[in-house]
Amino acid sequence: MKNLPTLILASQSPRRAELLQRLNLPFEARPANINEESLRHLEPARMALELATQKAQAIWQPGQWVLAADTVVALGDETLGKPRDPQENRRFLQRLSGRQHTVYTGFAILKPDGGLHREVALTQVAFRPLQAWEIEWYIQSGEGLDKAGGYGAQGLGMVLLERIEGDFYTVMGLPVSRVWQRLYELGYFGLEPHRPDPKEL
């Protein structure tokens, strides 16, 4: 595939940028500035979806392909955002220790004509019981301060995890396979989506 249009990534996340680089997709990171606090009252899946949608809409211009995503970590009905400081990071990890939580990543794609597609993926993550020294070790690394839930599954945080049920990349911040499929279906690759022959059904 050659001469694909530049995909505008409405995110400052180095992890999302890394995933698009792995796919060899031409993109430009252009972080969106929205008021995230105004959506904190929403339940987690809806919050992830609305945050992604607003980010995409904030930077879209006619003729552009825009991709935005947002990740929300939920422990029960409570949302755990990015820790404000190491103390809050410690509280997050103490609460996640030995328990299962849900990671929601919503994504939105805006087409050059303004057509919008959006959806949300979820993955279940279980932490093993953590020892106090492990929590302190992780906090001192500083890795969790810019991540929803206070940890990064793709970095040092991998030692905190017991199991993942679902798509790992949803936890990393972008459900890559689903985004790829939607880009294809929406015409980004310039290919006609496959329509199954009725005889195949």
Task: Give the helix ranges, DSSP H, for 4-131.
Answer: 14-22, 44-59, 86-96
Whether 131 is covered by a domain: the verdict is: yes
The tens-digit pLDDT sequence of the chain (201 residues) is 678 999 999 998 999 999 999 999 999 999 998 877 778 889 999 999 999 999 999 999 999 999 999 999 999 888 998 999 999 999 999 999 999 999 999 999 999 999 999 999 999 999 999 999 999 999 999 999 999 999 999 999 999 999 999 999 999 999 999 999 999 999 999 987 776 666 655
Whether 23 is covered by a domain: the verdict is yes
**Is 2 within the bounds of a domain?**
no
Neighbours of 72 (CB within 10 A): 28
For the record, the structure tokens of 35 come out as 């008021």
Confirm whether 201 is domain-assigned.
no
- Report the CATH number that the domain containing residue 90 is assigned in CATH: 3.90.950.10
The verdict on residue 199 lying in a domain is no
The string of pLDDT tens digits covering residues 36-52 is 777 888 999 999 999 99
What is the DSSP-derived secondary structure letter of residue 147?
S
Q: Which residue has the tokens 């001469």?
A: 3
* Residues with active-site annotation: 70
pLDDT of residue 1: 61
Neighbours of 9 (CB within 10 A): 27
Instruction: For residue 118, give every residue at least 6 positions away whose Cβ sits within 8 Å of its Cβ, in sequence order, or none.
Output: 49, 52, 53, 56, 106, 107, 108, 109
Query: How many domains does the structure of the chain reveal?
Result: 1
Residue ranges making up the domain that contains 90: 7-191
C-alpha–C-alpha distance, residues 122 and 46, integer Å: 12
Q: Is residue 200 part of a domain?
A: no
Which tens digit of pLDDT belongs to each residue from 169-182? 999 999 999 999 99
Answer whether residue 198 is part of any domain.
no
Question: pTM for this structure?
Answer: 0.91
Residue 198: the pLDDT is: 63
List the structure tokens of 93.
């990890």
Which residue from 123, 105, 113, 112 is spatially nearest to 50, judged by alpha carbons? 105
- Note whether residue 86 is domain-resident: yes
Closest CA to 106 of 32, 165, 54: 54
